[in-house]
Amino acid sequence: MSAPVCLISGVGPGTGSALARRFAEGGYRLALLARNEERLAALAQQLPGAKAYPCDVSDAAQVEAVASAVERDLGSPAAVIHNAVGGAFGRFSEIDPEILNRNFQINTMGLLYLARRFTPAMIQAGSGAVVATGNTSAWRGKPGFAGFAPTKAAQRILAEAIARDLGPQGVHVAYVVIDAVIDLEWTRKRWPDRPDDFFIKPRAIADEIWHVVHQDRSAWSFNVEIRPFGEAWCS
């Protein structure tokens, strides 16, 4: 029996790469999606059974083309993790409406395209998992997040609608809210005086998503919140 396939969108240097490494360690073959072809190919070369697929998940035609290629090369994914994210800071009176729309296309429509394309095979198999990575903005709208929070809130609600639809058909759908600042090069530069405990580690995020994907069918989660021990809860 061949190893299962995990498809991950938004494979960048932080959470996406950590997810790829975690699922590779767990015996999965990997379909890695991102817009940065060079960085994507470099990671795929490091992981046995991984293939890189340059893709903008906001483009339905690109998702369809990549899905066909993944199925041809690797087979139908047993797990799909939508980690691609479009974000921007700014108040509602300042942001370019096109930025809000662009973020919506990546965050929400990207999830829709991936779910519509890959879950029919999961339904037929009677098993599978779809996970979307969210953040604090999925729960609240602050003034400076007008170009981002609405798209993450919509993403969470879409994921819930999919979960309620597919759960009874044997497909696990979950939304993981990362209520923290992820430990990345640019976040370290933005918060240079913060201690290590302020940041959430990409590997820790990946470990929790691995756990969610492999939960027992009798105890599936949907809303999963993760944060460092010292982090104030989102409100």
Could you read off the pLDDT of 208-227 as tens digits, one per residue? Answer: 999 999 999 999 999 999 99
Q: Is residue 201 one of the residues assigned to a domain?
A: yes
CB 45: neighbour CB atoms within 10 A? 10
Q: What is the mean pLDDT of residues 111-117?
A: 98
pLDDT of residue 174: 98
130-to-58, 122, 226 alpha-carbon distances in Å: 17, 10, 18
* Predicted confidence (pLDDT) at residue 1 exceeds the cutoff of 70: no
Q: Are 93 and 158 in contact (CB under 8 A)?
A: no
Q: Is residue 54 in a domain?
A: yes
Predicted confidence at residue 133, as pLDDT, reads 97
159 in any annotated domain: yes
The backbone torsions φ and ψ at residue 146, rounded to the nearest 5 degrees and listed phi first, read: -65, -25
48: in domain:
yes
Which pLDDT tens digit goes with each residue over 11-60?
988 999 999 999 999 999 999 999 988 889 999 999 999 999 999 999 99
Task: Tell me: pLDDT of 232 over 90.
Answer: no
Q: Which amino acid is at 103?
A: N
For residue 147, the model assigns a pLDDT of 92
In a domain, 210, yes or no: yes
Rank 32-36, 43-47, 115-119, 140-144 by mean pLDDT and report only the highest: 115-119
Residue 232 in any domain: the answer is no
pLDDT, mean over the chain:
94
* Residue 107: per-residue pLDDT: 97
At residue 89, the pLDDT reads 85
Q: Is residue 231 one of the residues assigned to a domain?
A: no
CA dihedral 163, 208, 206, 201 (to 10 degrees): 130
CATH number at residue 99: 3.40.50.720
Boundaries of domain holding 207: 5-226
Q: How many domains does the chain have?
A: 1
This prediction has a pTM of 0.95
Residue 64 lies in a domain: yes
Q: Identify which of 144, 153, 151 has the alpha carbon closest to the alpha carbon of residue 93.
A: 144
Q: With beta carbons less than 8 A apart as the criterion, state whether 182 and 226 touch.
A: no
Contacts of 13 (CB under 8 A, 6+ apart): 39, 184, 185
